[in-house]
Amino acid sequence: MEKYTHIGVYGVLIHDNNILLIKKARGPHTGKWDLPGGTIEFGEEPYETLRREMKEETGIGEIKGRIRTAESYELIYPYLENQLEELHHIGIIYDVEIINHNYELKTDGDEEDSLGARWIRLKELEEIEVTPMIKMIFKDRN
């Protein structure tokens, strides 16, 4: 079994009791709702990753962020038809605010990782299929 460590940067953007999420287009969580974000490119600072990924996946380009936490989890999933992969996913999580509210939300996806972004009521998080990262971040929320 292949082992893989993925380090990503993700943004928690909450406005008027709604959270901005993207629907995963690929990987072990295809079809689930997740935080916007993704992989740190070689030589890229985590904050720059956050800004780039937010723009690519949601269309929101002018943000400010503050590190909230770092979380990680492990899972085994079918990477290829006859090959399992053990994934160690590490996420650097930022609290995000929009600086300029003049944007067009990317509801159709980014043709890579996202099938589209959507504002979802916080109270709906328990009713929709979400990634483990979201479950960990909001585990103490009642």
Q: Domain of 87: which CATH number?
A: 3.90.79.10
Domain count of the fold of the chain: 1
Domain encompassing residue 44: 2-137
Report the predicted TM-score, pTM, of the whole model to 2 decimal places: 0.92
CA angle 95, 104, 115 (to 5 degrees): 75
Q: Would you state the pLDDT for residue 140?
A: 67
pLDDT at 141 over 80: no
Q: Would you state the pLDDT for residue 56?
A: 96
> How much is the average pLDDT of 57-83?
93
Among 42, 98, 93, smallest CA distance to 72 is for 93
Domain presence at residue 142: no
